[in-house]
Amino acid sequence: MINLFHLSVTVNGTLYEQEVEPRLLLSDFLRHDLGLSGTHVGCEHGVCGACTILFDNEPARSCLMFAVQAHGHKVITVEGLGTIDRLHPLQEAFWEAHGLQCGFCTPGFLTTLVPFLEKNPDPSEEEIREAISGNLCRCTGYQHIMDAVKLAAEKMRD
Amino acid sequence: MTKQFIGKRIKRNEDPRLLTGQALFVDDVEIPGMLHAAFLRCDYAHARILSIDVSAARERPGVVAVFTAEDMGKDWEPGPPLVSPPPTLQGVTFHSRRQAPLVKDKVRHAGETVAVVIAESRYIAEDAVEDISVEYDPLPVIVDLGKALEPDSPLVHDDLDSNLAAHLYQQKGNYEAAKAQADVVIKKRFYLDRGAAVAMENRGIVAHWDEKSKQLIIWDTTQAPIAIRNGTAVRLGLSENQVRVIAPYIGGGFGPKMMMFYPEEILIPWVSMKLCRPVKWIEDRRENFYATTSEREQLHDVEMALTKEGRIMGLKDDFLHDTGAFDPYGLTLPLNTQCHLMGGYDIENFSSNCTAIFTNKPIVTPVRGAGRQQGIYVIERMVDFAAKELAIDPLEIRKKNFIPPDAFPYNNVIVDQAFAPLILDSGNYLPVYEKAVEMIGYEQFVKEEQPRLRAEGKHVGIAITPFIETTGVGPYEGARVQIETSGKVYVSSGYSTQGQGHFTSFAQIVSEQLGVAVSDVRIVTGDTAEFHWGTGTFASRGAVVVGNAVHAAASAVRQKVLKLASKVLATPEDALELEDGKVRIADIPHTSISLGELAALANPLRGAVEPGTEPGLEATDYFGPQYGATAFGTHAMIIEVDTETMMIEIKRYIAVEDCGRVLNPLIVDGQIHGGVSMGIGNAYYEKLHFDENGQILNASLADYLIVTAYEMPPRIEIGHGETLSPLSKLGTKGVGEAGAIPVPALFAQALENALLDYDLEILETPLSPNRLFELLYKS
């Protein structure tokens, strides 16, 4: 008999209370229990970055966390960054610069980059490359992603 | 016709959904009552199954069923071949052996499926997999390509005399005669090894058999939904119209998602029918390394005969090709290799034996480049060695041998993967080559910068590699274009999409014909309910085959629009123009009718229609090219090598690409960038390491190193040629794989050049910092 844990977590501004198994991964909780499937799972070993979410405003790998570790904390997923009718400037920039192809890795890049740009409003090429070095993309070769970040920084400064 | 849309850098229709996490990928499918599958996979690369005991697994709470091959009864059967050898090739030996949904007698590669657990959650299913006990009799393993044909080698398939999977021979002219006349004959042996596609999304499938409606819906990360639908229907005794296969948004394909069938792909729908419940299986990353296909291992013994002026008189290449434990993909890969062994050079005499060999390794099927890199690697290396041997400048020797522009269509005689003789439809190689030379500043670098840097002790190298890429092969694709009463245009095709931008590039073709905004064209791909016929997304054929089908259908709709509008506006057709979603009279622009209104008029609810009219403003058309269109290009690179760490830094990277008519330059640039990043991985960072027991030693993203932003050059500078293909109205050629094709050859040339003082001879790929250290230390 598994003891369920009474989880209480705020995701994209909404408080969720649910009984979960302690071993339930945060990525699975977000995707399947909450239906927020924008966070993607690429490896489940913390390397690819596709599962990156904001945990108390800092980027974190949701595949390497248990949902219960988020108890009492604040999580933001890609769905919390913008909507189709109101894109975040970073999302707009990715769109204009063709910073995505299949789109699978994209949510992880977006959640990684939002706090980066908030802290670094005028990043150098070096700094951008370092910021995205922990996210894998197999489609774009990263060049248009770099362009998107530069464009986003411009948009966010205005 | 004003070119307003084709050739423009238009941002993609599909992006807002992808950017906001609103796009459906297979693992996002949730159906009430859905069960989850987990597989028991064999860790041995070669072992007989003595017994399987699933009783404990079946007892576990939350487990609904456990199946082995025996439980499938008469439904158990190996899969059909996806591709058969070309009937047009003479004297082919081909032993077809295909993978089965669950292993019955013996396991032939590590990772093969032995049992499947179906449970309330993936977590419980994985727990139950651990409950299963299997008794194996491990057998000796064969992984070494060079040893697999020895008489005492373990046999992958016991009903065959050897591990020979296939043999074919192709020739052009008379190589032996050419060799006898030649001034110089160069001989080399090259070894190329495996790499994986590593799409960011692993494979997955959701199958939902509804017993009441007798309908089967499948969501599958496949590049070929129609083939899967047709094959599944046959397998399960259903009509094609009872089966719907949806390839929704797919997180990267690159080749391996094109198969029929992966064991899981035929098993999960069968399970769903058995249990009358929806069933989901999602591959995890470790499974992906074993259970998803990979390629590139070949061993080439090559000879090139030349005159002393550097004119290539003939090429001979006998090579071994690893096909893994099964060969469902026919001879596609070796044929692609053979068809690129002559590159873009005018070589009159050619001879090539290919021997495909079974090994106890995962199945080999195309990965971006699909055997073409190996061909280009061999020819470009041979030309480099010839240049050295004859003391001819490596650029000059190439210029001397390029197929001249007036020789097209150029018939290379040998048969290609599409069963047709290899005819290069069009090409103009010299300008593209010279553009790359100019863009990288070759003269200046070689004369000034390189000597200066070398004097400082730096190891910098430059390389320039031309290549061709066969694209746009048949058999055919189709499209249906319909103007809806909203004025928006709906387009469906049997094709599928994995990020290439089809929702936009195909829309641009429609916009060009119908004068509607690109964002008002809704392209649907990857759903067999929306379009009935097609083959699949492979071999860089979308822009050519689908593009031209879309163009033909859109043109037909344009004709219908003009015909109807001409009646409605009482104006001759040639005085009308289509713009901004309306049909206008050219001289009296206020007089117009919207496409939506016309669409409504074209589908009347009352009254009589003229005989021979079809309802609506809709047309379906197909395009089947006679043969493939050959794209080409040249890449150039300057790298620096640190001879202590063996780490490299790409200082500059140039890609000059000629893919015929460009539909959307933004998308083409993206394809080139992505291809180059895979090429760089293939050349210097990625390799699937198998040990002698057929185990993959680096089956994780921490150990199999795909390129990050740090490994890329600061900027890939792109140049373009635009030699239109005469094979279609649009004149397009494919570009999806081009970025990856010349890179291993480019790296070999660049590293030799950078390490000139080490007198290195590179005869293999992939390399790596470790491997380069070994090569330098040995010399």
A31 and B27 in contact (C-beta within 8 Å)?
yes
> Is there a contact between A104 and B251 if contact means CB atoms under 8 Å apart?
yes
- Both B487 and B525 in a single domain? yes
- Both B487 and B536 in a single domain? yes
- Both A61 and A120 in a single domain? no
Residue B647 lies in a domain: yes
- Both B565 and B431 in a single domain? no
- Torsion angle of the four alpha carbons B296, B301, B307, B310, in this order, in degrees rounded to the nearest 10: 30
**Cβ of A106 under 8 Å from any chain B Cβ?**
yes
- Both A62 and A102 in a single domain? no
Note down the domain range covering B778.
425-472+627-779
Q: Where does the pLDDT of residue B3 fall: very low under 50, low under 70, confident under 90, or very high at 90 and above?
A: low
Question: Count of domains in chain B?
Answer: 2
3-state secondary structure B660-709: ECCCCHHHHHHHHHHHHHHHHHHHHHCCCCECCCCCECCCCCCCCCCCCH
Give the Cα separation of B310 and B763 in Å (integer).
21
- Both A59 and A108 in a single domain? no
- pLDDT tens digit string along B428-466? 999 999 999 999 999 999 999 999 999 999 999 999 999
Residue B155 lies in a domain: no
Residue B633 lies in a domain: yes
How large a percentage of chain B has pLDDT more than 90?
Answer: 94
- Both B595 and B536 in a single domain? yes
**How far apart are the CA of B667 and the nearest CA of chain A, in angstroms?**
7
φ/ψ of residue B657, rounded to 5: -130, 135
- Both A40 and A69 in a single domain? yes
The mean pLDDT of chain A is: 97
Give the Cα separation of B630 and B469 in Å (integer).
6
Which residue among B584, B599, B623 closes a domain? Answer: B623
Which residue among A46, A80, A114 closes a domain? Answer: A80
Residue B553 lies in a domain: yes
Give the Cα separation of B54 and B71 in Å (integer).
11
Give the Cα separation of A105 and A109 in Å (integer).
7
B135 has a pLDDT exceeding 70: yes
- Both B586 and B631 in a single domain? no
- pLDDT tens digit string along B41-71? 999 999 999 999 999 999 999 999 999 999 9
A92 has a pLDDT exceeding 50: yes
- Locus of tokens 């002790």: B457
**Cβ of A139 under 8 Å from any chain B Cβ?**
yes
Residues 700 through 759 of chain B touching chain A, CB cutoff 8 Å: 700-702, 706-710, 712, 714-716, 739
Nearest-5° Cα angle at B603, B598 to B605 = 125
End-to-end CA distance of chain A: 56
- Both A107 and A152 in a single domain? yes
Nearest CA among B270, B281, B269 for reference residue B121: B281
- Both B604 and B727 in a single domain? no
- Both A12 and A70 in a single domain? yes
**Tokens (6 digits) for A27:** 């990525």
Give the Cα separation of B718 and A135 in Å (integer).
24
Nearest-5° Cα angle at B289, B286 to B291 = 95
A144 has a pLDDT exceeding 60: yes
**Cβ of A38 under 8 Å from any chain B Cβ?**
yes
- Both B562 and B507 in a single domain? yes
B228 has a pLDDT exceeding 50: yes
Kindly tell me the burial class for residue B609, based on how many C-beta atoms sit within 10 Å of its own C-beta (0-12, 13-18, 19 or more). Answer: exposed
B521 and B470 in contact (C-beta within 8 Å)?
no
B338 has a pLDDT exceeding 80: yes
- pLDDT tens digit string along B538-585? 999 999 999 999 999 999 999 999 999 999 999 999 999 999 999 999
- Both B634 and B768 in a single domain? yes
> Is there a contact between A102 and B712 if contact means CB atoms under 8 Å apart?
no
- Both B521 and B581 in a single domain? yes
B132 and B200 in contact (C-beta within 8 Å)?
no
Secondary structure letter of residue B100 according to DSSP: -
Tell me the CA distances in angstroms from B81 to A141, B94, B231, B250, B476, one per residue in order.
34, 12, 10, 24, 19
pTM: 0.97
Which residue among A51, A80, A109 closes a domain? Answer: A80
Question: Count of domains in chain A?
Answer: 2
B467 and B742 in contact (C-beta within 8 Å)?
yes
Q: Domain of A43: which CATH number?
A: 3.10.20.30
Rg (CA), chain B: 27
- Both A74 and A109 in a single domain? no
- Locus of tokens 């799409």: B199
> Is there a contact between A98 and B670 if contact means CB atoms under 8 Å apart?
yes
- Both A103 and A143 in a single domain? yes
**In this predicted structure, what is the pLDDT of residue A96?**
98
Which residue among A27, A56, A80 closes a domain? Answer: A80
B464 and B496 in contact (C-beta within 8 Å)?
no
Q: What is the torsional sign of CA B246, B250, B252, B257?
A: negative
**Cβ of A37 under 8 Å from any chain B Cβ?**
yes
- Both A144 and A106 in a single domain? yes
- Both B590 and B736 in a single domain? no
Note down the domain range covering A76.
5-80
> Is there a contact between A143 and B284 if contact means CB atoms under 8 Å apart?
no
Q: Domain of B594: which CATH number?
A: 3.30.365.10
Which residue among B589, B623, B657 closes a domain? Answer: B623
B144 has a pLDDT exceeding 60: yes
> Is there a contact between B673 and A142 if contact means CB atoms under 8 Å apart?
yes
- Both A105 and A62 in a single domain? no
Amino acid, single-letter form, for residue B35: L
> Is there a contact between B716 and A141 if contact means CB atoms under 8 Å apart?
yes
- pLDDT tens digit string along B636-654? 999 999 999 999 999 999 9
- Both A99 and A55 in a single domain? no
**How far apart are the CA of A103 and the nearest CA of chain B, in angstroms?**
6
Kindly tell me the burial class for residue B688, based on how many C-beta atoms sit within 10 Å of its own C-beta (0-12, 13-18, 19 or more). Answer: buried
- Both A22 and A62 in a single domain? yes
Amino acid, single-letter form, for residue B521: V
- Both B564 and B706 in a single domain? no
Tell me the CA distances in angstroms from B430 to B411, B629, B632, B656, B721, one per residue in order.
19, 18, 11, 11, 11
B218 and B243 in contact (C-beta within 8 Å)?
yes
Q: How would DSSP label each residue in B232-301?
A: HHHHHT--GGGEEEE--S-S--SSTT--S--HHHHHHHHHHHHHTS-EEEE--HHHHHHHS-EE--EEEE
- Both B694 and B751 in a single domain? yes
Q: Domain of A116: which CATH number?
A: 1.10.150.120
> Is there a contact between B198 and A23 if contact means CB atoms under 8 Å apart?
no
Which residue among B594, B623, B652 closes a domain? Answer: B623
Rg (CA), chain A: 16
Q: What residue ranges in A12-158 does DSSP mark as E strands?
A: 14-20, 52-55, 58-61, 74-76
Give the Cα separation of A112 and A137 in Å (integer).
13
Give the Cα separation of B652 and B673 in Å (integer).
13
Residue B49 lies in a domain: no
